[in-house]
């Protein structure tokens, strides 16, 4: 009997379990939240999306980010603060120039004070969710519904605010 290929189904699966385009959009949504003057890593974005081992997939998404509006790709570096994505910018030093314009010091292609400037989307975005939940829990007519990355606040079954 011929041996069955156990990897056959794996070829069709991406780290998020969804199509690449949807995963890339989720990455861009997180990257758009990174505050000016702060940086994050590919792995931190993957963890925030629930795909902790997909840092490389986040890197692929960032390689394509130049074609997408309002994605501050220069704020995404590797886990040591190195500008590993710099070759995907218009010039090799453009990523550094953008970071320095935001007050971030870069020396030898590495963000200085990386730990201080690091923005953890998992912590920061859930903190926002927690604060909203705390605020709204004091109002008995309101309830909040959270589905993946979308938060919608309802009052009497009518959406009042939708936060991406």
Q: Sort 10 into a burial class: Cβ within 10 Å, 0-12 / 13-18 / 19+.
A: exposed
Question: What distance in Å separates the CA atoms of residue 103 and residue 117, rounded to the nearest whole number?
Answer: 10
Band of pLDDT at residue 19, cut at 50, 70 and 90: low
Question: What distance in Å separates the CA atoms of residue 132 and residue 153, rounded to the nearest whole number?
Answer: 9
pLDDT tens sequence across 133-151: 666 555 544 444 444 445 5
Q: At what angle do helices 55-63 and 20-31 cross, to 10 degrees?
A: 80
Parse the chain into domains and list their residue ranges: 13-119, 122-163
Tell me what pLDDT residue 156 has. Answer: 45
Select 13-119's CATH number: 1.10.10.10, 1.10.340.70, 1.20.1260.10, 3.30.70.100. Answer: 1.10.10.10
| Across 14-39, average pLDDT | 80
Q: The whole model's pTM is what? A: 0.68
pLDDT tens sequence across 65-80: 888 889 999 999 999 9
């Amino acid at each position: 009997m011929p041996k069955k290929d156990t990897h056959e189904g794996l070829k069709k699966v991406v780290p998020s379990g969804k199509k690449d385009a949807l995963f890339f959009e989720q990455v861009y949504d997180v990257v758009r939240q990174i505050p000016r003057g702060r940086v994050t890593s590919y792995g931190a974005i993957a963890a925030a999306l629930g795909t902790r081992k997909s840092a490389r997939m986040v890197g692929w998404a960032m390689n394509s980010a130049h074609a997408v509006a309002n994605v501050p790709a220069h704020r995404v570096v590797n886990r040591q603060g190195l500008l590993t994505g710099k070759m995907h910018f218009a010039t090799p030093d453009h990523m550094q120039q953008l970071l320095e314009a935001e007050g971030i010091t870069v020396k030898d292609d590495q963000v200085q004070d990386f730990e201080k400037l690091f923005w953890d989307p998992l912590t920061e975005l859930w903190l926002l969710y927690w604060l909203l939940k705390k605020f709204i829990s004091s109002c008995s007519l309101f309830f909040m519904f959270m589905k993946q990355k979308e938060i919608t606040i309802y009052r009497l079954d009518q959406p009042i605010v939708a936060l991406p």
